[in-house]
Amino acid sequence: VTLFVLTAGVLIIILYAYFGQAARAQAADRIYLEAHQRIDMALVRGRCGLWDWDMVRGKMYWSRSMYDMLGYEPCDSMLSFGEVDEIIHPEDGDLFELANRIVEREIDHIDQVFRMRHADGQWVWMRARAQVIDPEAPEIQLIGIAVDVTEQRHLALRSEAADLRLRTAIENINESFVLWDAAE
């Protein structure tokens, strides 16, 4: 009987520990999921996305918000260097050249504005900022954000056009304006 009670006691302790650990794991999973959802919501609302570039393997991770900004369907797999290079506007820089400068340790950060092709074919202006995680590490990894600055670019272009029209109008005035006091 003593052996039975002892075995039952140990079994109860093991079951209690197991279910306690399972409850803690579920709580940790719930906290992780809530934090992940908050970050995703902030990125979507801020019109920005996270990206992580493993330069050794030539692969890039995009957050869900990155896909949303560009109108593509999110996928779980990482993007290849070529897939990303294909949607960057050819006039806005060379991704291969940028990668070489990072690999050669000429630069350890990026702050660049360029266009990327949206899924509907339009060009979206993006500002990418990133930093090499560990400049001393043999495997180079870059992590950063990309912000949709299309609206700001369009506003700047409209402002420049309005300034040009005003400047042209002022330069083309043939008459001189004279101010005088009507009381005189």
**Collapsing DSSP states into helix, strand and coil, what is residue 64?**
helix
174 in a structural domain: no
100 in a structural domain: yes
**Collapsing DSSP states into helix, strand and coil, what is residue 174?**
coil
pLDDT tens-digit map of 45-55:
888 999 999 98
CATH number of the structural domain spanning residue 95: 3.30.450.20
For the entire predicted model, the pTM comes to 0.69
Tell me the β-bridge partners of 80: 59
183 in a structural domain: no
128 and 52 in one domain? yes
Q: Which two tokens stand for residue 94?
A: 């060379």
Residue tagged 């005003």 (tokens): 166
Low-confidence residues of the chain, pLDDT below 70? Answer: 174-184
107 and 36 in one domain? no
Strand 79-80 and strand 59-62: the pairing is antiparallel
Q: Nearest Cα to 50, choosing from 32, 36, 34?
A: 36
* Total domains, the chain: 2
Last residue of a domain, one of 45, 64, 81: 45
- Angle subtended at Cα 101 by Cα 96 and Cα 106, rounded to the nearest 5 degrees: 175
Full domain range(s) for residue 3: 1-45
